[in-house]
Structure formats: structure tokens, C-alpha cells
Amino acid sequence: MVSQNRVGRLAAHIALLFLALMILLPIYFTVISALSSNASLFGDALHLWPNGWHWSNFIDAWTSQPFGTYFFNSFLSNGLIVAAQIVTSTLAAYGFSFVGFRGARVAFFLTLLGMMVPTQAIFIPVYLMLAQVHLINTYAGLVLPFVGSAFGVFLLRQAFLAIPKELIAAAKVDGASHARILWSIVLPNAKAALVTLALLNFVFHYDSLFWPLIATNSTGMRTIPVALSYFMNQEAGGGPEWNLMMAADILAVIPVLILFALGQKLIVRGLTSYGVKG
Amino acid sequence: MTQTEQTIVQSNALDELRTARHLAPGRASRRARRMRLLITDATGWLFILPSLLALTVFLFVPAGYVFFLSFQRWNLISANPQYVGLHNYLHLLNAPDFQQSIINTFWFGFFMIIILLPLGLLLAVLLDMGLKGTKIYRTILFAPYVVPLVASGLAFSLMYNQSFGLIDQVLALFHISGPDWLGTSTLALPSVLAMTIWQYLGYYVIIFLAGLQNVAHALREAAAVDGANARQTFWHVILPSITPSLFFAFIICTIQAFQTFDQVYVMTQGGPAEATSTLVYYIYEQGFQMYNIGTASAASIVLLLFLALLTWFQVSLGRRWVVYD
Amino acid sequence: MKKTNLIPAVATVLSLTTVLGSSVAMASTTHHTSAPVQISFWYGIGGALSQDVQMLVSQFNKTHPGIHVTATYEGSYSGGGPEQQKLLAAIRAGDAPDLAQMEVHSMPVFALAGRLLSLTDYMKSSPHDKPSDFITGMLESTEFGGQYYGVPFNRSVPVVYYNETMFKKAGIANPPSTWQELMADAKKLTHGSGDSKVYGFEPLVDWWPFEASVWSGGGHIMSANRSQATFATSAGEQVLSMEQQLVKQGYAKVQTGPNYWTDTTESFAAGQTAMDIDSPGSAEEVVKAVGNKFDWNTAMFPADVTRAVPPGGADAVIMASTPVNLRPAAWTFIQWWTDPAQSARWSELTGYVPVAKGALNSPGFQAFVKAHPYMKAAIAELKYQHASPASAQYLTLLQYVQQGLQSAFDLGKPVSQAMQQTQQQVNSSLSN
């Protein structure tokens, strides 16, 4: 076996180390740049160490736009999205998994199609619809388009199917209602999958730029990615302040990195373990 | 079987739906039975209603409206859309920038697949060897996946800068005058690709790792006992058993390629000379920079057709290609 | 552009108080009948300029207790940028702001669709915004069908920046005033090789100077009835071809990357190019970057067959959807901003060109020009402004032109071929 081969192990270590360094390099460079003065970034020479420690860059970046508001908006709107998705996906996944009803195949196929449709292909009508009911530039406008998650339905359905069927069947024979089966058998057995879904989709929506860019137009409603994208806008006479941009970048990434650090085990376990079919 | 990828290898999922019906218990009179079936149907639909409603209102109805708009001429603020028949589609047929964006999208997807899949698999195999520090490697590899594309796009924009970016400064150490990575047509798309690979690699490693960890170690040990060497074990035991993972990764990769937008928006705005314009970026550009809603809608329909084709491919071929159990 | 550190800091604090203030003001409307009129104002200049805007706005709010303007940055206004997208979408949503800063080339899209309020009557009765108060040529781009829809707000025209020190060394007495002279000068100014090579010239690969180049050569961007693009003629391509020739012969360099504009400005400031095309709005940045390294100045955009330049920057507009009772307040704000006192101050802050004769003649500004001679060329050039075609699809045309320019200057496609192809694309899109 490979694992017993010493040379093989060494080669593996070298390969992994090399790739890990390649992954870390941009992050390192971003941190260096965030700590440098903007002028020193324009120097020709390569510097592997910041020119002075300009911690104030982080404060300047933070105050260059109202980042406190943006974080609040990002967390609130994406928290609501994930909460709604958990509810709709759980119900749908339960229906698909444990209620053998006619039309399920068609409904499932539709859900499957839904996973393929990118926001970018349909944003104009969605915008027009929400504009009609005056929900543009509101939290509802940020949240509503995403309350259904086709991916969530798939993921949870798969997790639900891993629950021993005998458990469900026995409860049914005992006359347990669907609500009871869902609440006391299915959900406790699918915790890992639920958390995985919540984490993955929170990160996905926290990261996404396109819809918030279009659906918000006041400072009070903007989210983090929109604020970041404004650093790149160029007009004559305004060279980008790269150091502040990188500092803002780091500030924006910290929350998801923390979530990721806390939830990595669950994400990986969730991705690897819930799919065992009975 | 099975693991992660089955969440989305739906061919199987669709089959399973049939068996779910057998869960309905009981033996009763035909009438009572029919009644019960009706109740079951109603219950089932009620459960999926919230999800289906949300998807219908915010995906299918808009998709239908996009289809309608694809036959109109409109700039959003002119009074009303004006019917122009197939004009928008004919325009796309002759539009070099549209064709360029299709070519770019396929190019991007092709290279994402041939780089991410083998590299991801290789790293997963290495991580599956039980080496010391595996957890740390895995964490580092996966971390970029959670970074917003906007954020990494900005960071890479700085690295790619010709006069003071990291890459050209390193090249300068070897007295090589580095190119303008994002400002040269031939280099811009590969540069965006490199950044995308940096971002997504860890995700594919995790997918393959999940696949590998479900290949029973007993199976591998059996192969070892039979005298198979590492290479033979990989080709004959490991690879066949993770085809579901490979297929899943292939589909996800294609979807990601077809939806590429954020990094292009932040790094290159589709330029220079449309070198980095993807299909989705083209839609955005037509719709929101040129205000040609009709053309943008027609391009959206083309995108949806590609994706529908992909879904069909996934459902129908997935079953044939993928080895389960 | 960066000012001293104090100004952005002050502006940040002020803008924060503005946000707080506005919510307080809104809350108070329910209690007091005399609460200030709320005016929303969208603008599209970011970074330090955005802080200048916020600073002036809060100053306005302080001096006008009856009116409260809330200014919001909506992303860049340049070339069909986010601000225009926001406006368009907001109009559709019935959610448009009262006031907006509108990029001069985006005017037709909105004006021709009837989405802007005609300001003619307001202007005629204004003490300092009468059409005759403006420098000749200034209103060219704001007039549609005999009505004025915008008041010049932050304006510029493309100019040539040149390195006086290098000119002296090369024995050239004056900056070029025609393209032929520029060609000859660029050749003389180019020297060195490898990393230390200095290029004689750097054209800005952008649709803005493209407009100037087509008109200067005697070409027309669109047909008289604006149904067709007509720039791909030998007259329209003449100047571009000269620029490309310089590039191909190694006398000029070009930037086509995502930060092409900043990069162009920076290579001039770093002494890597002896001349470039840029906006007067970049002057502040050049001043800072050059320091005492060399002497430099600006000259008018060179003439070819004729001299003609496009306006750049933006105008202030009032949206047609602004309620009648808010219009006077919105106008008061524009009036205040374009008042000679603020106008001159605004130019000093931002490097944009003053738009009213009053500001130009104010003693403060005269002193400023004396201290900053590089403002002179732009001011002298204002009278050569030429309005862009008033087509609702002009932004589409410009987007395609930008792609065409990149394919000529990055891919090296012959200008005639690149422009011919661009024109076909534009016309196919126009007829669509």
C-alpha cells in the first residue's frame, strides 16, 4: 500500500506543502499589503515584509464606508435567508422522503431544474416584480428571492433517507403524525446535515455580490460584497487605495473564516456521512 | 454506496421516489385505500408547497418572463416593450461578442475541469494517506472556498498588477519583465482562471476525500493482499469506486463555469476586448450596461438551454456512467 | 485624489453625522410640521471625491435649515457604470431619487425617455445659472429639443499632460498643438531601452478621447439622424491610426488592463512617458506623485483637421418623478452648489474645471490658476466642446467602441479593421 511507502509519504508531504504554500501566498500578500502604506506598495522592489506596521489602515478602511451597517445587513439578510431555507427545505425534503405521493417525480424534477437557474439569467424580472410591490432596497427584497433552496432540498432529502426506514415505519404504525415524526425522529437524526446546509448556504449568500448590488441603493441597505466592489470603481483622478482595499478585504473575510473554523468539522462530516442509504 | 455526491446525482434520487410510496402502510378496502391515497397526495404536496412556491415565484415565473422579453425590444425606461419576433436571437447569431462569450465560457469550463478534477483527486488521495498534518493541509486547502469571490478578486487584481504586483515583482528578480496579466487579451482569461482555481480547489478536494473515505479500506487492503501495487490499486479499485464523486465534480464544475460572474466583474469587467467576457457577464453587460433588455433576455434563454441540456445529460447519462454499489 | 489627511477624516465624521442626522430628521417629521424638506441625491464619484461631496452637502444642510439633502454614493458614474444602472432600475421601480449627478454621455438615455425635468425655466430666472452665465460650450451636452436638462456640476475635457523637463532636454520649445506635431515630438522624446525606456506618448485607450479623435479628424460618430454609427471612415480613424502607428513603432505605450486609466496617469507621473492624454481631474494625483521630480504642464487636446473635444464629467439633474413640492428645494441645492463661491471651491478641491464665468473670474480662482498653471489648458479648451450624438443608444455605442479600441491597441488589429467591425456591431445592435 501507498501509505507504507516512505518515499511515497515524503513525496506526498512535499506536494501537499507546496500546494498549501501556493494557497497561502495570496493570503499572506494580502495581509502584507493591508499593513503597508499605499505609497510603499507602488515601489518596484518585492517586499516580503510590510513597510512599517500601519494598523491604522484597518481603521481607515472601516471608516471609509459604514462597514458596521454593512456587516449588520449581511448578517441579518443572510441569516433570514438561511432560516427560511431551512424551513422550506426541511418540509420539502420530508415530503419527498417519507410521503409517497403522486406527482412527486415531477415536483422533484422541477426542484432539480431550479438548482440550475442562475440569478444572473432571471434577475430582470425578479427586480421588476419586487419593484412592483416596492420591496427593492428593503431586507425583504434581499431575502425573498432566496427563501427556496433547491440545493437544500436535495441535501436534506439525502440526509433524511439515511435515517433507518424501520424507525419511520414503526412510528407510523404507532399512529404518529407527520409533524411528530418530523420533529422527534427526522430532525434529531439529521442535525449534521442541517448545520451543514446552514453553514454552506450562509457562506454562499454572504459571499454573493450580484443581487445585493442590484437590489440595494441606499447606504443603509448595502452588504459587504457591494461595499468591496466599490473599492474598484475608478474615475479620473482617483487611483485605488490598495492598502485600504486589502484591509477591507480582510475585515470582510474574517466572519466567514471564523464560521468556517468553527464549522469545518461539521461541514466535512456532514458532506461525508449523511448519505448512507439503507 | 453512497456519499456526498448522491445529494446531487439525482438520477438515483428520482428512482428512489418510487420506492418511497411503498412506505404507505395498511391493507384496507379499495375505497378507504383510495381515500387514504388522496390524503397522502395532499399531504405530500402540502409539505413541498412552500419550497415549490418559492422556486416558482422567484425562478420559474421569472424564467417565463425572460422568455417573453427575449422577443421584445426594451430599454427598461422606454414606455413599453415592443415585439420584435426572433430579432434578438438572430442578432445573437451574428454578434461576435456573444460568440466570444460562449467560447470563453466553454474554454473556462474546459480548463476548470481538466485542472480541478485531477488536481483535486490527487490531493484527496494524498490527504487520504493518513499523513501527519492532514487536518492542517485540508483546512488550508479548503479555506479559500469561503472567501467572497469579490474579496479574492480584489486581492488577485493587486497581485496581477504590472508595475507593483507580486507576480511581476517575483519575475523581476529573475530579470524578466512581467506582462500586464489582466490587460493583455491572451493572458487575462487564464489569469482569471488561475484565481478561480485557487478559490475552488479545496472544495473539490473535499468532494473527492468524501468519496475516497467511503471506499471501504477493506477493499484496498484486499487489493494489497492480492499483490496489487499502489498504481494498480488506484486505477482498478479506487478510481472505479469514486466515479460518482467524479461525475458530481464534473457537473458542479460545469455549473460553476456557466455561472462565472463575480470575479470577472471585479477583476476585468469583461475586457480587454471581450477576452474575459463570459456568458453571464455578457447578459449583465447587455442588460445593465447597454440597456438592451431583449438581447440580454435572449442570451439568458440560451444560457438556460445550456443548463437544461446539462441537467438532462446529468440525469440520463449519470445512470449509465456511474458505478453504484 | 487624496487631500491632506484631515479633510477625509472630517468628511467621514460629517458624513456619519449626516446619516444619523437624516434618520433623526425623518423621525421628527411626524412630530413637527416645520421639519426640513427631505431631498435625496445620488452621485457617482467615489473615494476622496465622495468625501468632498459629503462635506459640501453637510455644509449645505447646515446653512439651509429648511432643507435636508441625503447624498448617497451609488457606484461610479463613468461609462454606463453602476450609478446609471441604479437610476434606470430605480426609475422602473418608481423609486428614483430627487436629484442626481449624471455623467454627460448618459444624459440622452434619460432625457429622451422623458425621465428628467426640464430646468430651462429655473435656469433663466437664476442669478448665476442663466444659460448665458456659463462658459461657451458648457451646455452643449445638456440641451435636448431646446430644453436644458442638466446644470454642469463637475466637468472636464481631455487634455495632454506633458513633461516640461523632458521637452527641454529634447529641445522642444512648446507642447504640440496638432497631431502632426505630437507625432514628431513623441519620436524625439522617446529614449532609453528595457525597463528604463521612456515613451514619447501614451494615448488613453478610452472612448472619451476617442470621441475627440473622430471629430478632430473631421469624422462623425453617428449619422445626422442618429440611426447609424459612422465613425469607421478614414477621417474618423485618422487620429487613432496615428496613435497606433506610434505604438507599433515603439514611440508610444498603452494600457488596456482594468485600471488602464490610473495606470496611464501613473506612468506619466513616474516619468515613464513624456506625454499622455488624461483628464484635468487627475491633476491632483499627478501633483502628489511627481513632487519635485520634474516640471510638467498640460496642453489642449491636439487639433487635426479641426479642434473638437467632448465634455466629460457630470451634470446635476432633477428627476421628472420628483414631486412638485420638492422641486424648489432640489433646485435650491443645485443653485447653492453652482454658486460662484462653492463652484470655485469645488474646482479647487477636485481639480474639475469651473463651469460658470462667475467662478472663473472670481479673485480666489484667479489666484488658484496662477498657482496651478496646469488648469489653464482645460479652461481654454472648454469652448471647443462638441456635444455627443443625442441617441438613447449612445451608451451601447460607447461600450462597443471601448471593446474596439482594446482590440486595436491590445491585440494590435489595424485601426480600420477594428473600427469597421465595431461599427458593424453597433449598427447591428441599433437596428435590433
Cβ neighbours of B94 in C, within 8 Å: 428
pLDDT of residue C369: 82
| C-beta atoms of B14 and A30 within 8 A | no
B65 is a domain residue: no
Question: Could you tell me the pTM of the whole model?
Answer: 0.86
CB interface of B with C, residues 48-77, below 8 Å: 73, 75-77
- As a whole number, mean pLDDT of residues B96-116 equals 95
Find chain B residues with C-beta within 8 A of A96's C-beta.
Answer: 17, 20, 47-48
Provide the shortest C-alpha distance from residue A234 to chain C (in Å).
7
Please check the confidence at residue A59 and state whether its pLDDT lies above 70: yes
Sequence-ordered list of residues with C-beta below 8 angstroms from that of C242, at least 6 positions apart, any chain? C179, C182, C183
Query: Which of A226-240, C60-74, C369-383 is modeled with the greatest confidence?
Result: C60-74
- Disruptive mutation site among A38, A62, A70, A217 for chain C (greatest number of C CBs within 10 Å): A217
The answer to whether residue B72 sits within a structural domain is no
- Grid coordinates of B75: 430599454
How confident is the model at residue C164, as a pLDDT?
A: 96
Average pLDDT, chain B: 83
All residues of chain B having their beta carbon less than 8 Å from the beta carbon of residue C259 are 157, 161
> Does A278 have pLDDT greater than 70?
no
* SS3 of residue C71 by DSSP: strand
Q: Decide if B172 touches A, using CB distance below 8 A.
A: yes
Domain membership of residue B21 as a residue range: 4-26+86-321
Which CATH number goes with the domain that contains B157? Answer: 1.10.3720.10
Q: Does any domain span residue B119?
A: yes
Section C45-69 average pLDDT:
90
- Residue B222 in this model has a pLDDT that exceeds 80: no
pLDDT above 80: residue B20? no
Is it the case that residue B21 has pLDDT exceeding 60?
no
Q: Which residue has the cell 506610434?
A: C246
Phi and psi at residue C309, to the nearest 5°: -130, 150
Alpha-carbon span C25 to A204, nearest angstrom: 37
State the pLDDT confidence band at C17, using cuts at 50, 70 and 90: very low
CA dihedral A85, A90, A91, A92 (to 10 degrees): 80
pLDDT value, residue B11: 44
CB contact under 8 A, C75 and A236: no
CA distance C360 to B212: 75
Q: Which of A41-50, C149-158, C371-380 has the lowest mean pLDDT?
A: A41-50
Count of the separate structural domains present in chain B = 1
**Residue C103 clears pLDDT 70, i.e. is over it:** yes
pLDDT score, position B273: 87
Q: Do C256 and B183 touch (CB under 8 A)?
A: yes
Predicted pLDDT of residue C1: 33
Q: Please list every residue in chain B whose beta carbon sits closer than 8 Å to the beta carbon of residue A256.
A: 146-148
Confidence of residue A37 (pLDDT cuts 50, 70, 90): confident
Q: How far is B305 from chain C (nearest CA, A)?
A: 22
Q: How far is C159 from chain A (nearest CA, A)?
A: 12
Nearest to B3 among A107, A155, A275 (CB): A275
**C90:A136 CB<8 A:** yes
- Asked if B295 is an interface residue toward chain C (Cβ–Cβ < 8 A), one would say yes
A276: which chain B residues are within 8 Å (Cβ-Cβ)?
2
Q: What integer pLDDT is reported at residue A45 of this predicted model? A: 67
Task: Pick A116's closest partner by Cβ from B169, B207, B307.
Answer: B307
Asked if this assembly's ipTM is beyond 0.90, the reply is no
Name all domains of chain C by residue range, CATH numbers in brackets. 6-156+311-379 (3.40.190.10), 159-309+393-430 (3.40.190.10)
The Cα–Cα gap between B201 and A229 comes to 24
Indicate if the pLDDT at residue B187 is higher than 90. Answer: yes
Residue of A nearest to B167 (CA): A46
Note the pLDDT tens digit of each residue in A164-178.
Answer: 888 888 888 888 888
Q: What is the reported pLDDT for B216?
A: 62
What is the chain B residue with the closest CA to C395? B290
- Model confidence at B14, pLDDT cuts 50, 70, 90, reads low
Nearest to C189 by CA among C268, C83, C287, C110: C268
End-to-end, the C-alpha distance of chain B in Å comes to 5
B16 within domain boundaries: yes
The pLDDT of residue B15 is above 80: no
Where do the domains of chain A lie?
2-54, 65-273
Residue C69 or C109, more confident: C69
For residue A109, give the C-alpha cell: 424534477
Is A111 within 8 Å of A150 (Cβ atoms)?
yes
* Nearest CA distance, C95 vs chain B (angstrom): 13
Does any CB of chain A come closer than 8 Å to the CB of residue B78?
A: no
CA–CA separation, B196 and A114 (whole Å): 24
Q: What is the total residue count of chain B?
A: 325
Neighbours of chain A (3+ CB pairs under 8 A): B, C
Cβ–Cβ gap A122/B300 under 8 Å: yes
State what percent of residues in chain C have pLDDT above 90. Answer: 56
* Domain annotation covers residue B309: yes
Q: What is the mean pLDDT of residues A2-8?
A: 66
Contact list in C for residue B88 (CB cut-off 8 A) is 432
Which chain A residue lies closest to C267 (C-alpha atoms)? A42
Mean pLDDT on C199-222: 95
pLDDT at residue number C83 = 86
C-alpha cell at C311: 465634455
CA pseudo-torsion sign B94, B97, B101, B106: positive
Which partners does chain C have (≥3 C-beta pairs < 8 Å)? A, B
Residue C105 C-alpha, separation from nearest chain A C-alpha, in angstroms: 15
Average pLDDT over chain C, rounded to an integer: 86
Q: Is the pLDDT of residue B25 over 70?
A: no
Contact B47 A12 (CB under 8 A): no
For chain A, how far is it from start to end, CA to CA, in angstroms? 31
Contact call for C48 and A238, based on CB within 8 A: yes
Burial of C318 by CB count in 10 Å (0-12 exposed, 13-18 middle, 19+ buried)?
Answer: buried
Per-residue CA distances from B68 to A136, B58, B61, B289, B294 (Å):
22, 16, 11, 21, 9
Find which of B209-213, B251-255, B269-273, C39-43 is predicted with most confidence, using mean pLDDT.
C39-43
> Per mean pLDDT, which range of A18-22, B104-108, C96-100, C428-432 is the poorest?
C428-432
pLDDT above 50 for C160 = yes
- Judging contacts by C-beta atoms under 8 Å, the chain A residues touching residue C46 are 230, 233, 235, 238
Per-residue pLDDT tens for A70-113? 999 999 999 999 999 999 999 999 999 888 888 888 898 888 77
Contact call for C194 and B177, based on CB within 8 A: yes
Q: How many beta-carbon pairs below 8 A join chains A and B?
A: 345
The C-alpha atoms of residue B7 and residue C105 are separated, in whole angstroms, by: 50
Q: Categorize the per-residue pLDDT at A25 as very low, low, confident or very high, splitting at 50, 70 and 90.
A: very high
Return the axis-axis angle of helices A150-161 and A67-98, rounded to nearest 10°.
50
Q: What are phi and psi of C234, to 5 degrees?
A: -65, -30
- Cα separation, C68 vs C78, in Å, equals 27
Q: Distance between CA C282 and CA C378 in Å, rounded?
A: 12
**Which residue in chain C is spatially nearest to B187 when comparing CA positions?**
C257
Mean pLDDT of B251-275: 88
Length of chain C: 432
Percentage of chain B exceeding pLDDT 70: 88
The CATH number of the structural domain formed by A65-273 is 1.10.3720.10
Select the more confidently predicted residue: C356 or B83.
Answer: B83
Binding partners of B (≥3 Cβ pairs within 8 A): A, C
Residue A3 has pLDDT above 70, yes or no: no
User: Tell me, what DSSP letter sits at residue C116?
Assistant: B
Cα–Cα nearest to A151, from A225, A227, A202: A202
Average pLDDT over residues B5-21: 46
Q: Give me the count of residues in chain A.
A: 278
Shortest Cα–Cα distance, A79 to chain B (Å): 16
Best of A54, A218, A222, A233 to mutate (most C CBs within 10 Å, chain C): A233
How would you label A51-77 residue by residue, b for 16+ Cβ within 10 Å and e otherwise?
A: eeebeebbebbbbbbbbebbbebbeeb
SS3 C42: strand
Question: What span, in angstroms and rounded, lies between the C-alpha atoms of B247 and B255?
Answer: 12
Band (pLDDT 50/70/90 cuts) for residue C332 is very high
Residues in Cβ contact with C5 at an 8 Å cutoff, skipping those fewer than 6 apart: none
Phi, psi dihedral angles at B30 (to 5 degrees): -60, -40
Instruction: Kindly tell me if the per-residue pLDDT of A251 is higher than 60.
Output: yes
Spatial distance between the Cα atoms of C47 and C1, rounded to a whole number of angstroms: 8
Q: How many CB atoms lie within 10 A of CB B318?
A: 21
pLDDT digits 0-9 by tens, C344-364: 778 777 778 877 787 777 787
pLDDT for the residue numbered C127 = 86
Closest in B137, B143, B206 to A16, CB measured: B137
pLDDT on residue B28:
56
Cβ-defined contact of B55 to A148 (cutoff 8 Å): yes
Asked whether residue B59 is assigned to any structural domain, the reply reads: no
Of A250-254, B9-13, B102-106, give the lowest mean pLDDT range: B9-13
Query: Which residues are CB-neighbours of B10 under 8 A, at least 6 positions away?
Result: A108, A112, A154, B314, B315, B318
pLDDT band at B6 (very low <50, low <70, confident <90, very high): very low
Residue type at B266 in one-letter notation: V
Write down the mean pLDDT value for chain A.
85
Helices (H), C113-254: 120-124, 164-169, 179-189, 207-216, 234-248
Q: Do B55 and A111 make contact, defined as CB atoms within 8 angstroms?
A: yes
Of C135 and C187, which is predicted with more confidence?
Answer: C187
Mean pLDDT of C359-382: 84
Q: Is residue C34 very low, low, confident or very high in pLDDT (cuts 50, 70, 90)?
A: low
Rounded mean pLDDT, A191-205: 88
Q: Binning pLDDT at 50, 70 and 90, where does residue C304 land?
A: very high
Count how many pairs of residues, chain A against chain C, have C-beta atoms within 8 Å.
Answer: 100
Task: Judge: A214–C12 Cβ closer than 8 Å, yes or no.
Answer: no
> Residue C329: CA atoms inside 13 Å, Cβ hemisphere, count?
21
Q: Does C402 touch chain B (CB under 8 A)?
A: yes
Predicted pLDDT of residue C81: 75
CA distance A165 to A169: 6
Report residue A272's pLDDT band, with 50, 70 and 90 as the boundaries: low
Mutate to test the interface with A, among B47, B72, B149, B265 (most CBs of A within 10 A): B47
Partner B contacted by C410 (CB < 8 A): yes
Residue B36 lies in a domain: no
Mode of pairing for the β-strands spanning C37-43 and C67-73: parallel
The model's pLDDT over B30-40, given as tens digits with 9 standing for 90+, comes to 888 888 888 88
